A and B are shown apart, each in its own frame.
Chain A
Amino acid sequence: MEIFGIPLQAFMSQLMLGLVNGCFYAVLSLGLAVIFGMLNIINFAHGAMYMAGAFFAWMGLTYWGIGYWWSLLLVPLAVGLVGVIIERTMLQWLYQLDHLYGLLLTFGLALMIEGAFRYFYGASGLPYSIPEELGGAINLGFMFLPKYRAWVVAVSLVVCLATWFVIEKTRLGAYLRAATENPRLTQAFGINVPLMVMLTYGFGVALAGLAGVLAAPAYAVSPLMGSNLIIVVFAVVVIGGMGSIMGSIITGLSLGVIEGLTKVFYAEASSTVVFVIMVIVLMIRPAGLFGKEK
């Protein structure tokens, strides 16, 4: 059986791979969306945090013998802590100003962080092997899916849905949304708004750190890995609608799949297709697919 001249087997396997990549997009764009939605900061340091996550995992293993499973827990905490420090010392002074200030600050931070890692570890990347428990592959009938990639899909989906649930459906999420809508009134009700904002930023970049740990065994751990990805992730957020949680999850996954299919039909266009879609979406729905017009 064939679909558009492509054997079904090849078609299904590319679809699967697209989904795996989509998971990385979803986790990263989710963090960006949370930060933008709650803090109004366009966090250009997100790619650098993702890269730092992968590096922290590598450093943990190399210097202190901390394995993959502990890294999965500890690295997001460490990256989140870095985020909290950045928020307290720099970002908190910028909330009242134009978006451009936050963008420039985080962009500068990203360049500095990347530069520092490049200085100490070089540009060609470091090895990080797949944990033994997740080595090998599952036979899906149409392809051999490495167990590790299946794991990435599972973790990403759980994390994305849990985040959405906390923000949209719980009391804590309600406080957060209230703090975004009207900080002064929320504070008057006795809620510590600056603390919530700080933790939100920490959580957003922790998601990037988590994506970094997930990526370390699949890609080379390199200082450039964040900047290669971040532009696509921004496009995902723009298409999904700035600040929309569910929007960025769904868009991340579906753009991964669309990109995967492009690789089947016309590989040369696979790095551009996301941006073509962005242009079309912006022309038809300027607020993004899931965004609300203000």
Chain B
Amino acid sequence: MTGLSLKNICKSFGDLEVIRNVNLSIDPGELVVFVGPSGCGKSTLLRMIAGLEDITSGEFWIGDKRADHLPASERDIAMVFQSYALYPHMTLAENIGFPLKLAKLPAGKIRQKVKTIADTLHLDELLDRKPGNISGGQRQRVAIGRALARDPKVILLDEPLSNLDAALRLEMRAELARLHKQLASTMIYVTHDQVEAMTLADRIVIFDKGEIAQIGSPLDLYNRPANTFVAEFIGSPKMNLFPASLHQTDRNKAKIRLKNTTYDLDTDGLTGDILDTAITKNRGETIKLGIRPEHLHFSSEGGLRGEIRNIEHLGSDTYIHIETEAKADVVVRSNGISALRNGETVGLIPGPGMGHIFDQQGIRVT
């Protein structure tokens, strides 16, 4: 088990800067998920860690060894490709054993190792087949098996589940979680799927336009998003962001008024110096109040009034879209099947302490 550290990593293709100033340290045995919208640079960073792309500036360390000038083959890092990249002319056993063959291990040892891996991944029956004759899920397992063969220091996974159908994806996700526990190896996992990120990660790194938007445990990101980008990216349906303004009511108290309404909310948790700074900095400016769809509740009287425009029934949950003065489309998520109808007027009240306040630049205030 080895940790990794990235110091001030930058990457440009010509004039185009795709990765800006990434600082990150990954502990031994940790599973870190890189997540972000497509084009945010997460896959490029993974390829730089693998050694498939050069680093424009910065330092990359594997354990206590500087590695940014090492060729990919000497980094002792394995990678599972999105496309699996199995060798079509080799049997599954040869595919899994290929890294060991390159390392010039004796044939007997290779066979033994391949068998152990095949047992772990339930592939023992298929070892004589070629990649063309097995299913997508099995190909995925073989790709993982090949990555495990050398007992690498770090395993990189580049959107490994994105080519599988929904049911298989769920199954493989659980299997990956099991494997990570069993092997206790350092893993970096790239995905654009926040559910995979939330369920698998010890820590999540969210990327936005080539920069790290936030690093934290899955629940950290959910409970305390550092900015509006993270707030909207994590959680489904995404967080409602209301334009609002901050008003001091007392020496140690303030209220948030939603735009275009007379609806005021308490700023629980926002006190003392932080409140003072927040008020001075944002006086007269439009700030953002974020409330997750699952933290909005209905009330027959009071609250933020609005009219129901659309109802989506998912069975386990119902998503209710409401048009309000403050925001054109507010989404509320309620458990089970809702009896509400289109066109009804309802009031919305956030759960206590469930508001997230972001300043005019979209940075979290508390």
> Do A and B make up one complex?
no
Query: Taking beta carbons and an 8 Å cutoff, which residues of B are in contact with A?
Result: none
